[in-house]
Structure 1
Amino acid sequence: MSSHLDVRLREGSKHSHTMTENTAFMKCFLKGIVEKSYFRKLLADLYFVYRALEEQLEWYQYHHIVGMMYFPELHRQANLEKDLAFYYGESWRSQIVPSPAGQVYVNRIHEVANTQPELLIAHAYTRYMGDLSGGQALRKIARSAMNLPSDRGTAMHEFEQIPTPEARREFKEQYRQALNFLPLDEEMIQKIVDEANYAFNLNKNVIHQLEADVKAVIGEHVFDLITRQDHIGSTERTLESATAEMIASEYSI
């Protein structure tokens, strides 16, 4: 019996998703303002987040519910390690620590794993479906803005086992079907939707910390000109200007 969890998650977290898109950091990013100095800080925080998430998903891979959403081909930790070695050098492990907001995010993942592991589904959904969707456009923007070598710097958004738009579209449909066949009651469905909203907020807090770095690079006046624009759905419009094909096949989580 289908729980329609995919629709509940998409519709129930739409506002939180949009709020994350419309942070000052993302508005600047979408205009191609991306610098290695702060992009690598974001990747460092995400490394700690994904390491925690994937450690817990692996631990619960035989759980009667969480195990149904165990897709190791989505895991990002190894790819983030490649990116961090590129941006920080081979001694990257000794150079990074979670930011305060990053640590709160990591702590929450461990907390739900220890108390109600089904809520890991919300964290996996918000991260991986975003990576497979809008993350593909962010990858293109980052590559262009930082003039990266063809094989370095954006491994986080590269899925070796799901390499094409068509494959990603098919995989996302498979993922949605898996969500819908989870044996969940209404109370747990609502808890997962609530946790997805919290996960978006945790991610927004991580991004928000980087705004001072962006402002330092482009200057306060330019920063204010860009970020005072409160365009709902700015990500979608940026994608439209990039490629119509990506809207159709990539963006929607």
Structure 2
Amino acid sequence: MADLVSFSTALRERSRTAHSGSEGAGFMSDLMRGKGTRDDYVALVAQHWFIYEALEAAASTFAADPVAAPFISEKLTRLPALEADLAYLIGDDWRERITPVPTTERYVARIREVQDDAWAGGFVAHHYTRYLGDLSGGQFIGKLMARQFELGSNGIGFYVFDEIADPAAFKDVYREQLDAAPWDAAEAERVIDEVLLAYQFNTDLFVDLAAVKAEASVADTATVA
């Protein structure tokens, strides 16, 4: 008999290509390779605020849900750090100076739809996609942005998890919780599909940010001309 594949393993394998595609999107690739600007980084932080505002509002709704609750931890909360980052990067009036790009609006709408439907599996899918990514590649991104834009410890709080001493161990426990979730085969498939949707939102977000940057460049050129 073939060995049974755990849900967390199946999820990781099924989403591997989508994850790689998100990381390789042009906007993010340029930022990681030193071809982006400080404004590009600020634009990304701003979009993160809208996404995590929705995700962490949903976490409050699901805090008492028996399926979703094990995944929710204050150690993961990112909104206060994002707000501190934006205040440093933009100024105290940052709320009036940021707007969501179209993909962010769709992303947020989907998270709120999952929340309104009280679909615990859908919430876990978005929770997993964001926070485990933050605890993985996000750690490297934060250090890279700090070095590229000479931020020091300022403006990168989003990537700093002071309350999680061992991210690898934390992720191992998280995957054990995924494997313990009481989902039948059909629900497990729905959750994986939602994770793939979340990764697609991430990829499309980078496409939107690249488009906004290109439009701004054209406008600047026209102004100079």
* Alignment TM-score, normalising by the size of structure 1: 0.79
Q: Which whole-Å CA distance do the structure 1 matches of 2:64 and 2:94 have between them? A: 33
Structure 1 letter corresponding to 2:206: I
- Secondary structure, in 3 states, of the residue corresponding to 2:66? coil
Q: Which whole-Å CA distance do the structure 1 matches of 2:139 and 2:216 have between them? A: 25
CA RMSD of aligned residues (A): 2.0
> Is the CA contact 1:86–1:153 (under 8 Å) kept in the aligned structure 2?
yes
> Is the CA contact 2:8–2:179 (under 8 Å) kept in the aligned structure 1?
yes
Higher RCO (CA 8 Å, separation ≥ 6 residues): 1
Q: Which whole-Å CA distance do the structure 2 matches of 1:110 and 1:217 have between them? A: 30
Alignment CA distance shift 1:217-1:27 (3 Å): farther
Q: Which whole-Å CA distance do the structure 2 matches of 1:218 and 1:30 have between them? A: 20
Structure 1 letter corresponding to 2:130: R
Corresponding residue number in structure 2 for 1:113: 115
> Is the CA contact 2:115–2:123 (under 8 Å) kept in the aligned structure 1?
yes
Q: Which whole-Å CA distance do the structure 2 matches of 1:64 and 1:186 have between them? A: 19
Corresponding residue number in structure 2 for 1:140: 143
Pick aligned residue for 2:19 from 17, 20, 26: 17
Q: Which whole-Å CA distance do the structure 1 matches of 2:170 and 2:153 have between them? A: 24
1:197 deviates by 0.3
Q: Which whole-Å CA distance do the structure 1 matches of 2:216 and 2:102 have between them? A: 22
**What are the residue-to-residue correspondences of 1:221-240 with 2, within 5 Å?**
none
Pick aligned residue for 1:27 from 29, 36, 45: 29
> Is the CA contact 2:87–2:94 (under 8 Å) kept in the aligned structure 1?
yes
Corresponding residue number in structure 1 for 2:206: 207
Instruction: Check if 1:131 corresponds to 2:134.
Output: yes
> Is the CA contact 1:45–1:102 (under 8 Å) kept in the aligned structure 2?
yes
Alignment CA distance shift 1:96-1:32 (3 Å): same
1:97 deviates by 2.0
Corresponding residue number in structure 2 for 1:4: 6
Determine what percentage of the aligned residue pairs are the same residue: 31
Corresponding residue number in structure 2 for 1:190: 189
Moved more, 79-88 or 63-72: 63-72
- Secondary structure, in 3 states, of the residue corresponding to 1:210? helix
Alignment CA distance shift 1:110-1:61 (3 Å): same
Q: Which whole-Å CA distance do the structure 2 matches of 1:56 and 1:140 have between them? A: 29
1:33 deviates by 2.4
Q: Which whole-Å CA distance do the structure 1 matches of 2:217 and 2:31 have between them? A: 12
Corresponding residue number in structure 1 for 2:223: none
Alignment CA distance shift 1:142-1:213 (3 Å): farther
* Alignment TM-score, normalising by the size of structure 2: 0.89
Deviation string 1:3-49 (CA, Å, 9 cap, x unpaired) is 82211210111111111122111221221223221211111111111
Q: Which whole-Å CA distance do the structure 2 matches of 1:198 and 1:183 have between them? A: 22
Structure 1 letter corresponding to 2:190: K
Structure 2 letter corresponding to 1:202: F
Corresponding residue number in structure 2 for 1:68: 70
> Is the CA contact 1:53–1:109 (under 8 Å) kept in the aligned structure 2?
yes
> Is the CA contact 1:3–1:180 (under 8 Å) kept in the aligned structure 2?
no
Q: Which whole-Å CA distance do the structure 1 matches of 2:50 and 2:28 have between them? A: 21
- Secondary structure, in 3 states, of the residue corresponding to 1:120? helix
> Is the CA contact 1:25–1:214 (under 8 Å) kept in the aligned structure 2?
no
